[in-house]
Amino acid sequence: MKTENQIETAHVLSSGKQQKLFFAGLLFLVVCFLILDIFLGSVSIKASDVIKAIFTNTESNFETIILKFRLPKAITALTVGIALSLSGLQMQTVFRNPMAGPDVLGISSGASLGVAFVILGFSANISPDSLKGLGNWILVAASWIGAGAVMILIMFISSRVKDIMTILILGIMLSSGISAIVIIMQYFSNETMLKAYVIWTMGSLGNLTSSQLNVLLICVSVGVLLSLFSAKMLNALLLGENYAGSIGLNVRLARIVIFACTSIMAGSVTAFCGPIGFIGIAVPHIARILFKTSDHKILIPGTILTGGAVMLASDIISQLPGSDSVLPVNAVTSLIGIPVVIWVILRNRKYSGLF
Partner 1 sequence: MKKNFSEMLTLNSLKIGYASGSHENVLLPPLNACANKGELIAVIGRNGIGKSTLLRTLTGLQPSLGGEIFYSGKNIRDYSRMDLAQKVGYISTEIVKVSNMSVYDLVALGRFPHTNWMGKIDTKNHEVIMDAIEKTAMSAFCNRFVSELSDGERQRAMIARILAQDTGIMVMDEPTAFLDIGSKYEILHLMHLLSQNSDKTIIFSTHDLHMAISQSDKIWLILDNRLMEGAPEDLMIEGAFDHLFDSSSVQFNSENGTFSFRSEEKGRIFIEGDEIRRHWTEKAINRAGFSLSEVKTIPYIIIPSGNNREWKLTTDISSVEFRSIYELVSFLSKEDILSI
Among candidates 97, 94, 84, which has minimal Cα distance to 253? 94
Residue 261 or 269 having the CB closest to partner 1: 261
Max Cα-Cα span within the chain: 63
- Determine the Cα–Cα distance for residues 355 and 345; give it in Å rounded to an integer: 10
Q: Cβ-count burial of 1 within 10 angstroms (0-12 exposed, 13-18 middle, 19+ buried)?
A: exposed
Instruction: Give me the least distance between CB of 228 and partner 1, in Å please.
Output: 8
Per-residue 3-state assignment (H helix, E strand, C coil) for 112-141: HHHHHHHHHHHHHCCCHHHCCCHHHHHHHH
- Determine the Cα–Cα distance for residues 308 and 338; give it in Å rounded to an integer: 18
Instruction: Give me the least distance between CB of 13 and partner 1, in Å please.
Output: 6
Query: Residue from 62, 196, 221, 295 that binds partner 1 (CB under 8 A)?
Result: 295
Stretch touching partner 1 by CB under 8 A, among 29-37, 62-70, 231-239, 273-281: 231-239
84 binds partner 1 (CB under 8 A): no
Residue 270 contacts residue 200 (beta carbons within 8 Å): no
Instruction: Give me the least distance between CB of 309 and partner 1, in Å please.
Output: 20
Instruction: Give me the least distance between CB of 293 and partner 1, in Å please.
Output: 6
231 binds partner 1 (CB under 8 A): yes
Query: Residue from 280, 297, 304, 341 that binds partner 1 (CB under 8 A)?
Result: 297
Query: Residue from 1, 190, 349, 353 that binds partner 1 (CB under 8 A)?
Result: 353
Stretch touching partner 1 by CB under 8 A, among 45-53, 71-79, 106-114, 224-232: 224-232
Query: Residue from 247, 256, 335, 345 that binds partner 1 (CB under 8 A)?
Result: 247
Residue 248 or 322 having the CB closest to partner 1: 248
11 binds partner 1 (CB under 8 A): yes
- Determine the Cα–Cα distance for residues 325 and 192; give it in Å rounded to an integer: 26
Query: Residue from 2, 4, 15, 121 that binds partner 1 (CB under 8 A)?
Result: 15
Instruction: Give me the least distance between CB of 289 and partner 1, in Å please.
Output: 9
Instruction: Give me the least distance between CB of 229 and partner 1, in Å please.
Output: 7
Q: Which ranges of the chain does DSSP label H, i.e. alpha helix?
A: 2-9, 16-39, 47-55, 61-63, 71-94, 107-116, 134-160, 164-187, 191-202, 210-229, 231-237, 241-246, 251-273, 279-291, 296-318, 329-350
CB atoms within 10 A of CB 266: 34
160 binds partner 1 (CB under 8 A): no
**Torsion sign over Cα 203, 296, 231, 106:** positive
DSSP state of 322: T
- Determine the Cα–Cα distance for residues 352 and 317; give it in Å rounded to an integer: 36
Residue 14 or 48 having the CB closest to partner 1: 14
86 binds partner 1 (CB under 8 A): no
Query: Residue from 2, 4, 13, 42 that binds partner 1 (CB under 8 A)?
Result: 13
> What are the angstrom distances between the C-alpha of 137 and each of 107, 210, 265, 272, 318?
19, 14, 14, 11, 29
Residue 73 or 288 having the CB closest to partner 1: 288
248 binds partner 1 (CB under 8 A): yes
Residue 205 or 228 having the CB closest to partner 1: 228
Query: Residue from 2, 46, 195, 292 that binds partner 1 (CB under 8 A)?
Result: 292
Q: Cβ-count burial of 229 within 10 angstroms (0-12 exposed, 13-18 middle, 19+ buried)?
A: exposed
Binding site for partner 1 (CB under 8 A): 9, 11, 13-15, 228-229, 231-232, 235-236, 238-240, 242-243, 245-250, 288, 292-295, 297, 351-355
